[in-house]
A and B are shown apart, each in its own frame.
Chain A
Amino acid sequence: MLNASILTWLTFLPVAGALVVLLLPRRGRAAEGFTLLLTLAFFLLALHLPAHFNYHQQQGFQYELNVPWISSPAIHYHVGVDGLSMWLVVLVSFLAPLGVLISWRAIEDRKREFYALLLLQQTAMYGVFISLDLILYYAFWELSIVPLALLIGMYGRNDGRRAAIKFFLYAFIPSALLLVGMLWLYGQTGTFDLVQLQQQMHGWSTGPHAAGLWLTSLAFLLAFAVKVPVFPLHGWLRDGISEAPTAVAMILAGKLGLYSLLRWHVGLFPTEAAHVAPLMVALGATGVLYGALMALVQTDLKRLAAYATLSAVSFIVLGIYAFTAASMDGAAYQILNESISASAFFMLLGILYERYGTYDMGQLGGIATKMPGLAVLFVITTLSLIGLPSLNVFVGEFLILSGSFQTHPRIAGTATVGVILSASYMLWMVQRVFYGKPSTSVAALSPADVNWRERAAVWPTIALMIAMGVASVFWMHAIDLSVPGMAPNKVSLGAAVTPTSAYATLNPTRGMTR
Chain B
Amino acid sequence: MIPSLYLWLLPLFPLAGFAINGTMGRRLPKTAVSFIGLLFPAAAFAQVLWIVARVHQGLTLPYTESFATPWIAVTDFHANFSFLLDQLTLVMLLVVTGVGLMIHLYSVGYMGEEEGYWRFFSYMNLFLFFMLTLVLAANFLLLFVGWEGVGLVSYLLIGFYYTKDSAANAGKKAFIVNRIGDFGFLLAMFLIIAHFGTLSFNQVFSSITSHPEMQGGFLTAIALFLLLGATGKSAQIPLYVWLPDAMEGPTPVSALIHAATMVTAGVYMLARTHVLFGRSPLALTVVAVIGAATAFFAATIGILQTDIKRVLAYSTISQLGYMFLACGVAAYSMGIFHLVTHAFFKALLFLAAGSVIHALGGEQDMRNMGGLRKKLPVTFWTMTAAVFAISGLFPFAGFFSKDAILAADFITPHDGKILWAVGLITAGLTSFYMFRLWYMTFFGSPRYQESSAVREGHGSHGGRDVHESPWVMLLPLVILGILSLAGGWIGWPEALGGSNWIAHFLDPVFASAGTAAATPPTTADIQLDRILAGVSMLTALLGWFLADLMYRRRPQLADAAERSAKPLYTMVLNKYWVDEIYASVIVGPILAVSKTLLGRGIESGVIDGTNNAWTRIGSGLSSWVRRMQSGNIRSYAGWLAAGAAAVLIVVLYLAHLY
The interface bits of chain A over 328-351 (1 if a CB of B lies within 8 angstroms of the residue's CB, else 0) are: 011000000000000000000000
Residue of A nearest to B221 (CB): A508
In the complex, which residues 186-225 of chain B have their Cβ closer than 8 Å to any Cβ of chain A?
186-187, 189-191, 193-198, 207, 210-211, 213-214, 217-218, 221
- Is the beta-carbon distance between A502 and B207 smaller than 8 angstroms? yes
Contacts of B641 in A (CB 8 A): 142, 146
- Is the beta-carbon distance between B189 and A402 smaller than 8 angstroms? yes
Of the stretches A157-165, A247-255, A262-270, the one at the interface is A157-165
Number of A-B contacts (CB under 8 A): 239
Chain B: minimal CB distance from A399 (Å): 6
B interface, over-half SS: helix
Contacts of B617 in A (CB 8 A): 169
- Is the beta-carbon distance between A416 and B637 smaller than 8 angstroms? no
Contacts of B218 in A (CB 8 A): 505-508, 511-512
- Is the beta-carbon distance between B651 and A431 smaller than 8 angstroms? no
- Is the beta-carbon distance between A293 and B195 smaller than 8 angstroms? no
Contacts of A164 in B (CB 8 A): 633, 637
Chain A: minimal CB distance from B263 (Å): 19
A420 within 8 A of B: yes
Alpha-carbon separation in the docked complex, A186 to B651 (Å) = 11
A297-B75 contact given A366-B163, A502-B195, A505-B195, CB 8 Å threshold:
no
- Is the beta-carbon distance between B210 and A499 smaller than 8 angstroms? yes
- Is the beta-carbon distance between B622 and A326 smaller than 8 angstroms? no
Task: Select A187's contact among B593, B622, B658, beta carbons within 8 Å.
Answer: B658
- Is the beta-carbon distance between A434 and B196 smaller than 8 angstroms? no
- Is the beta-carbon distance between A330 and B217 smaller than 8 angstroms? no
In the complex, which residues 168-197 of chain B have their Cβ closer than 8 Å to any Cβ of chain A?
168-169, 172, 175-176, 179-180, 182-183, 186-187, 189-191, 193-197
Alpha-carbon separation in the docked complex, A428 to B587 (Å) = 13
A: number of interface residues (CB 8 Å): 92
B535 within 8 A of A: no
- Is the beta-carbon distance between B590 and A435 smaller than 8 angstroms? no
- Is the beta-carbon distance between B194 and A405 smaller than 8 angstroms? yes
In the complex, which residues 128-174 of chain A have their Cβ closer than 8 Å to any Cβ of chain B?
142, 146, 149-150, 153-154, 161-162, 164-166, 168-170, 172
- Is the beta-carbon distance between A235 and B608 smaller than 8 angstroms? yes
A interface, over-half SS: helix
Task: Select B162's contact among A232, A368, A417, beta carbons within 8 Å.
Answer: A368
Contacts of B77 in A (CB 8 A): 325-326, 399, 402-403, 493
Contacts of A476 in B (CB 8 A): 72-74
- Is the beta-carbon distance between A493 and B647 smaller than 8 angstroms? no
Alpha-carbon separation in the docked complex, A170 to B640 (Å) = 13
Alpha-carbon separation in the docked complex, A406 to B176 (Å) = 27
Task: Select B187's contact among A416, A473, A480, A498, beta carbons within 8 Å.
Answer: A416
- Is the beta-carbon distance between B193 and A294 smaller than 8 angstroms? no
Contacts of A175 in B (CB 8 A): 644
Alpha-carbon separation in the docked complex, A413 to B185 (Å) = 12
Contacts of A169 in B (CB 8 A): 614-615, 617-618
Alpha-carbon separation in the docked complex, A508 to B149 (Å) = 31
Task: Select A496's contact among B180, B195, B217, B614, beta carbons within 8 Å.
Answer: B195
- Is the beta-carbon distance between B72 and A472 smaller than 8 angstroms? yes
- Is the beta-carbon distance between A507 and B217 smaller than 8 angstroms? yes
- Is the beta-carbon distance between B591 and A296 smaller than 8 angstroms? yes
B159 within 8 A of A: yes
- Is the beta-carbon distance between B614 and A235 smaller than 8 angstroms? yes
Of the stretches B104-112, B319-327, B595-603, the one at the interface is B595-603
A374 within 8 A of B: no
Chain A: minimal CB distance from B450 (Å): 29
- Is the beta-carbon distance between B145 and A179 smaller than 8 angstroms? no
- Is the beta-carbon distance between A294 and B70 smaller than 8 angstroms? no
A183 within 8 A of B: yes
Residue of B nearest to A420 (CB): B179
A176 within 8 A of B: yes
Residue of B nearest to A373 (CB): B26
A437 within 8 A of B: yes
Alpha-carbon separation in the docked complex, A329 to B75 (Å) = 9
A368-B162, A402-B77, A506-B218 given; name 10 further pairs at CB < 8 Å: A169-B614, A179-B647, A183-B655, A294-B603, A297-B591, A390-B145, A390-B149, A471-B71, A497-B196, A507-B218
**What are the 3 closest A-B residue pairs judged by CB atoms, nearest first?**
A497-B197, A493-B76, A435-B168
Q: List 22 A-B contacts (CB under 8 A).
A: A149-B633, A166-B614, A170-B614, A175-B644, A176-B644, A290-B602, A293-B593, A325-B74, A389-B141, A395-B72, A398-B186, A399-B74, A405-B190, A416-B187, A424-B179, A436-B168, A473-B71, A476-B74, A493-B76, A494-B197, A503-B213, A512-B191
